[in-house]
Amino acid sequence: GSDKNQSSKSRRACIVVRQKGKVEELENVVRSLENINWDAEFTVHVGIAHTRWATHGEPNAVNSHPQRSDEQNQFVCVHNGIITNYKDIKQYLTNKGYRFESETDTEVVVKLVKYLYDKHKTENISFQKLIEMACSQLEGAFALLFKSTHFPGELCATRRGSPMVIGVKCADQLAANHIPVMFSK
């Protein structure tokens, strides 16, 4: 999120919180964070979250989502589906000097996006085009959602063969006819 009283750097900051277990456990970790000003008013606020059964790697905090491109969280991604050629892409990126924290195909995707950004950033590439370039190299069925410090105020979502549900919360409580909607306290 951002507001006019924040520095440019903090406006672009992306905080990643991962937790194994129930959503309530993640919520408790988020509420305990000391570096978040819960009273700040933001002109833009985006949160991405995902619950996922591990398809690659053991279910633990390191393998949970969002996955990040680097320690600065320049790109983060949540993902549903399976990238069938992730091992080939991972090997390519490893040969380029990238190091991996998790065992997930998701981390491979987000590091691929970072690699492509670094390669094409002088071309003033859009977030959408960047994600299209990355997805053109992926095989499998997937739904992906990205956030980046390089594109503040933007999310980029894409899917191929997997469903995606996007929720937008407003002042009024919403209801969906086929998906239960729950709000935190």
Residue 40 lies in domain: 8-160
Q: What is the mean pLDDT of residues 32-60?
A: 67
* Contacts (Cβ under 8 Å, ≥6 apart) of 12: 2, 149, 150, 152
Q: Is 134 inside a domain boundary?
A: yes
Residue 182 lies in a domain: no
Q: Is residue 164 a contact partner of residue 80, using CB atoms and an 8 Å limit?
A: yes
Average pLDDT value for residue range 53-66: 69
What pLDDT, in 10s, does the model give residues 168-184? 666 666 555 555 555 55
pLDDT at 33: 76
Residue 178 lies in a domain: no
The token pair at 74 is 């320049």
**Which residue's structure tokens are 């393998």?**
63
The type of residue at 156 is C
User: The pTM is what?
Assistant: 0.76
CATH code of 127's domain: 3.60.20.10
Number of domains comprising the chain: 1
d(CA 86, CA 141): 12
> Is 183 part of any domain?
no
Residue pLDDT, tens place only, 62-96: 777 789 999 999 999 999 899 999 999 999 999 99
**In this structure, is residue 184 part of a structural domain?**
no
- Is 173 contained in some domain? no
In a domain, 103, yes or no: yes
Q: Is residue 165 part of a domain?
A: no
Q: Note if the bond before 152 is cis, omega within 30 degrees.
A: no
What does DSSP say about strands 155-160 and 67-68: parallel, antiparallel, or unpaired? unpaired
Helices (H), 33-180: 86-95, 105-120, 127-135
The region that residue 28 occupies, defined by phi over 0 for left and psi between -120 and 50 for alpha, beta otherwise, is: alpha
